[in-house]
Amino acid sequence: METGIALVDRVRDRMRAHRYRPIAPDDHAIRHAVLIPLYQLDDQLHIVLTKRTTKVRLQQGHISFPGGGREAHDPDLLATALRESQEEIGLEPDHVEVLGRIDDFSTRDGEVLIAGFVGLIDPQRSPYRWQAAEFEVAEILEVPVPHLFDPAHWTVKAPRELNGRMWPNEDLHYRGHRVFGATARALRNVLEIAFSQG
């Protein structure tokens, strides 16, 4: 796999060319957004995930992307993703180059509709000084992209139909953590859009 600037340039081009598949007639029906941060560390690209604490009301201990619910003062879903990322992991919006939007996705029951945005963290700020929100974030994971392409790190099950679309049904394993559900589906979508060789 490519590394460094060549890989970043290819990912940037692929994300800009992608036309995401909406999950609802318009964005007003979507009340949640996440940021999928790409992070260059030691000339290798990583994807940043968070582990939720046991203090939060929902999805305790789950692995997810930084993000959350849209608030009244958010002008759009991208603003939600950037604001929530700043609140959860201390990622300044000015340090992110937004590359594009992946296909909209949902939770398993289809009740929570989510928009996902891929953002490249300024490589001049590596290593990044994360500031995890104590109540929400137990751990910040920096997962190397090559790890995501090793089939040994995935448990594959039969695909699932959600909101009229067939989705992969897989779990990712990383350093004792298990990434599953909506986060794993979105992660696979990112890999197919931004990193596939096709």
Instruction: List, in order of start, the domains of the chain with CATH numbers.
Output: 4-195 (3.90.79.10)
The continuous run of DSSP H or E covering 160 comes out as strand 154-162
Name the CA radius of gyration of the chain, rounded: 16
Residues in the chain where the model's pLDDT stays below 70: 1-3, 56-60, 163, 197-198
**pLDDT the model gives residue 56:** 67
**pLDDT the model gives residue 152:** 97
Q: Is the peptide bond before 159 cis (omega within 30 degrees of 0)?
A: no
Backbone angles phi, psi at 106, to 5 degrees: -145, 170
